[in-house]
Amino acid sequence: MGERCSCSPLPKRAAGARHDAIQLYTEGDRLFEAMLEAIGSAQKQVWMETYIFADDEVGRRFARALSERARAGLQVRLLVDALGSLFQFYRSLGPELEQAGVEVHHFHRWQWREPLRYNRRDHRKLLVIDNKTAFLGGFNIHRQSSQRYYGAARWRDTHAAFKGDLAQQAAELFDAFWRGDKKWQPNDHELAESVLIPNQSRACRRRLACIYTDFLGSAKQQVCLTTPYFVPDHHTQKVLLAAVKRGVEVRLLVPQTSDVRLAGWAANAVYARLLDAGVKIFEYLPRMLHAKVAIADGKWATLGTANLDYRSLLQNYELNLVSRNPDLCRQLQLQFEADLTEASAVCAIRWRQRRWVPRLAELLGWSVRRWL
């Protein structure tokens, strides 16, 4: 990621500022019901952006809700990533939504003249209702996130809902992106308690990477990281190691089994170096872990769509909530500790003794890390 850039630092809460009301969701069924209720109560507009919009039980529920609002005369916009929803959306849901009056945009559809743009994906998951209510986080619109449809093996994820100034920020971010201004960002929010941060702005093309650098560099006691795809570049590794050297406890929670096997192998390739330095790595055992959360010293946190990997921080379009809200930080910390009760610590000595087959797999995964 190179040297630390001069983009805006972490938000600083102004004295006497009121706390943002942020609702946390860690179960897909509860989140989906809240989102569908919000869509159903919309009066003017529904703006939705997602990486995966699957043609399954969950996707069809959302398609019906969006179609009903469009037929009622509301402005309904849906932005889906062309690759993320490939083979899951285009055959039936897309045409049905358009016929109902939903404005559907497909982000970076394949073009022979510009093949590399297909590699830059819209990984954001955002829903904005009437500029007043917004949802943001890691949940995609698919059955894998639902216990009702997928069972006990449903993915473990994290999402947030908020209103007020944050919802207005979300609306402005969606509208700018919809119009093709991919580097727009909220202005004059340095003193806000919470802010939405895209990973690219006019001042910095890797803003979230800089935020993580600030976050790791300013931590004094403890850092807790949850990510499904942990493929850190050399700069991120350096910052992690520097935090441990300063005496900061760094705990990393990742899935034991990844849905993208190559990404899991690439992550394993850096374990030895981090473990030897004192980073504590835990593997979540029950199911696929898809949450993207970080907490520093229990005083500030970030959640959203960005993974700690090359693709999220350097290639994809992402969006994170960064907050010093004490209640949100407390809830996320409690959830992290609860997740650790269902995780297994990776032992440095045993990791060094693993056989040659997984070592070769790690080399393969690391060699293609920028394309995962």
pLDDT digits (tens, 9 = 90+) for 337-350: 999 999 999 976 66
pTM of the model: 0.92
Contacts of 107 (CB under 8 A, 6+ apart): 79, 80, 81, 82, 121, 122
Phi-psi region of 300 (alpha: psi -120 to 50; beta: other; left: phi over 0): beta
Q: What percentage of the chain has pLDDT greater than the value 90?
A: 63
In this predicted structure, which of 104-108, 190-194, 268-272, 352-356 has the lowest mean pLDDT? 352-356
**CA distances from residue 337 to 224, 282, 340 in whole angstroms, order as listed:** 9, 11, 5
Q: Decide: 161 and 149 in contact? Cβ < 8 Å.
A: no
Q: How far apart are the first and last CA of the chain?
A: 17
The pLDDT mean for the chain works out to: 88
Query: Using alpha carbons only, what angle is made at residue 90 by residues 86 and 92, rounded to the nearest 5 degrees?
Result: 140
Q: What is the predicted pLDDT for the residue at 2?
A: 42
**Which band of pLDDT confidence, cut at 50, 70 and 90, is reported for residue 263?**
confident
Q: How far is CA 368 from the centre of its chain?
A: 21
**Which band of pLDDT confidence, cut at 50, 70 and 90, is reported for residue 3?**
very low
**Which band of pLDDT confidence, cut at 50, 70 and 90, is reported for residue 291?**
very high
CA proximity to 80, closest of 39, 38, 45, 108 = 108
Q: How far is CA 28 from the centre of its chain?
A: 15
Out of 14-23, 81-90, 113-122, 270-279, give the one with best mean pLDDT: 270-279
**Which band of pLDDT confidence, cut at 50, 70 and 90, is reported for residue 1?**
very low
- Domains belonging to the chain, first-starting first, are 21-179 (3.30.870.10), 195-372 (3.30.870.10)
What element of type H or E holds 49?
strand 45-50
Q: What percentage of the chain has pLDDT greater than the value 70?
A: 84
